[in-house]
Amino acid sequence: MECLPGEPLMSRDNVDSMRVPNVASGHLPGLADLGIQATALEAVAAGPTSGRLSTAGATTAGAPAPAASRRRPRPQAGAGIEEGFVMQLVIGNKNYSSCVDAAGV
């Protein structure tokens, strides 16, 4: 990806960053200590988005949601989540995964 034309999609340094877990340690205060209830990814990504994640339906605790985002996302026709599969390929010390969604693309 680093070698593709244009702005690099992902660099070696990005991959190096992923060698450590990017999850909360639990040893430091978090959003809840600021009075914020963390929003689930699924709640934000539920709407049809033309290839982009929708913000519809998600709210931030403690702050009134704008009218446009008060509505919960409605299930869309054909939006039943179907499982895809992941192929993993190990070459040398590198691990590659191929993710294919249910639509086969």
CB of 92 to other proteins, least distance (A): 12
Q: Are strands 94-100 and 85-91 parallel, antiparallel or unpaired?
A: antiparallel
CB of 5 to other proteins, least distance (A): 14
CB of 65 to other proteins, least distance (A): 9
CA neighbours within 13 Å on the CB side: how many for 67? 0
Instruction: Please give the helix or strand (H or E) that residue 44 lies within, else none.
Output: helix 41-44
CB of 91 to other proteins, least distance (A): 10
Tokens of 27: 């040893």
Dihedral class, residue 104 (left if φ above 0, else alpha if ψ from -120 to 50, else beta): left
